């Protein structure tokens, strides 16, 4: 559509893939097009988000339409909310039955920060959002810990799975955040392991990054089916 193309051009959004859903004109599109619950829009307002950032405009509709994606947008451009918002909209809260979304972050600090942001966005709904601490990775039996969204670094997640304390076979979403850093830090083996552990055939995988080196792009293409590539601005700045 002409209108979609203009909106993408205005926000410097470049896409690659078939049948890419229209970008968001505003947060109101979330209610009218996707029946977003009022609590989420209230939380956006409370956090001072008046309009979606470019990556949010495109990544949110892509994920809400059930497509996998790999996305590249500058640091500080709101990538966290771009993947948390569709997860919150798609997951039914307070269900039993184990971890249903996994977010992999390269460092503990980023994992903690992502957890805080996620909790703010989920405010008012009873989602169980857990940061994988060292204690949790060593002691918890996850089948007994209510957890909708689990945020972890690669080594801790791998450890918990290997100990058979964590079953990801029912996870509906897998996020590889800062995937360029995950690579740089040499977590390829762990990523591979986690991807295999998320064995639900309908799992939605997504990759977010500030740069898109060929290694990350190659990974995305081998990992995902019919994925949409979204780049905001230039590929490697």
Is residue 58 a contact residue for ligand ADP (CB under 6 A)?
no
Rounded Cα distance between 55 and 223, Å, is 21
First to last CA, the chain: 29
Is residue 61 a contact residue for ligand ADP (CB under 6 A)?
no
* SS3 (DSSP) at 173: strand
Q: Residue 34 or residue 49: which is nearer to ligand ADP going by CB?
A: 49
3-state SS track over 185-205: CCCHHHHHHHHHHCCCCCCEE
Token pair in block for residue 121: 């966005």
Token pair in block for residue 103: 């977010």
Q: Judged by CB under 6 A, which stretch of 75-83, 134-142, 185-193, 213-221 contacts ligand ADP?
A: 75-83
Closest CA to 195 of 214, 215, 176: 176
Is residue 79 a contact residue for Mg ion (CB under 5 A)?
yes
Q: Which helix (H) or strand (E) holds 219?
A: helix 214-223
Is residue 52 a contact residue for ligand ADP (CB under 6 A)?
yes
Mask 80-119, x = binds ligand ADP (CB under 6 A)? Answer: xx--------------------------------------
Place of tokens 């460092």: 107
Q: Residue 93 or residue 119: which is nearer to Mg ion going by CB?
A: 119
Question: Closest approach of Cβ 183 to Mg ion, in Å?
Answer: 15
Question: Closest approach of Cβ 201 to ligand ADP, in Å?
Answer: 29
Is the distance from CB of 140 to CB of 161 less than 8 angstroms? Answer: no
Question: Closest approach of Cβ 9 to ligand ADP, in Å?
Answer: 20
Is residue 100 a contact residue for Mg ion (CB under 5 A)?
no
Find the binder of ligand ADP among 22, 25, 31, 77 (CB under 6 A). 77
Token pair in block for residue 105: 């972050």
* SS3 (DSSP) at 92: coil
Binding partner of 78, given ligand ADP, Mg ion, none, CB within 5-8 angstroms per partner class: ligand ADP
Site residues, Mg ion (CB under 5 A) = 79
Site residues, ligand ADP (CB under 6 A) = 47, 49, 52-53, 56, 73, 75-81
């Amino acid at each position: 559509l002409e209108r979609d193309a203009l909106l993408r051009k205005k926000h410097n959004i470049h896409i690659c893939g078939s049948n890419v859903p229209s970008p968001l004109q505003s947060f109101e599109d979330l209610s009218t097009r996707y029946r977003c619950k009022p609590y989420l829009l209230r939380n956006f307002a409370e956090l001072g988000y008046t309009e979606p950032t470019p990556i949010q405009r495109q990544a949110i509709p892509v994920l809400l339409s059930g497509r996998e994606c790999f996305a590249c947008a500058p640091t500080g451009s709101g990538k966290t909310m771009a993947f948390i918002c569709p997860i919150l909209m798609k997951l039914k809260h307070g269900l039993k039955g184990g971890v249903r979304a996994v977010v992999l972050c390269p460092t503990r600090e980023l994992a903690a920060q992502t957890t805080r942001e996620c909790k703010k966005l989920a405010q008012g709904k009873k989602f169980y959002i857990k940061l994988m601490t060292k204690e949790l990775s060593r002691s918890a039996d996850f089948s007994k810990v209510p957890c909708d969204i689990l945020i972890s670094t690669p080594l801790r997640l791998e450890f918990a799975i290997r100990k058979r304390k964590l079953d990801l076979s029912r996870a509906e979403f897998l996020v590889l955040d800062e995937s360029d850093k995950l690579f740089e830090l040499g977590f390829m083996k762990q990523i591979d392991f986690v991807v295999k552990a998320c064995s639900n055939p309908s799992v939605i995988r997504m990759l977010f990054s500030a740069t898109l080196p060929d290694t990350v792009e190659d990974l995305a293409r081998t990992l995902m089916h019919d994925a949409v590539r979204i780049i905001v601005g230039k590929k490697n700045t």
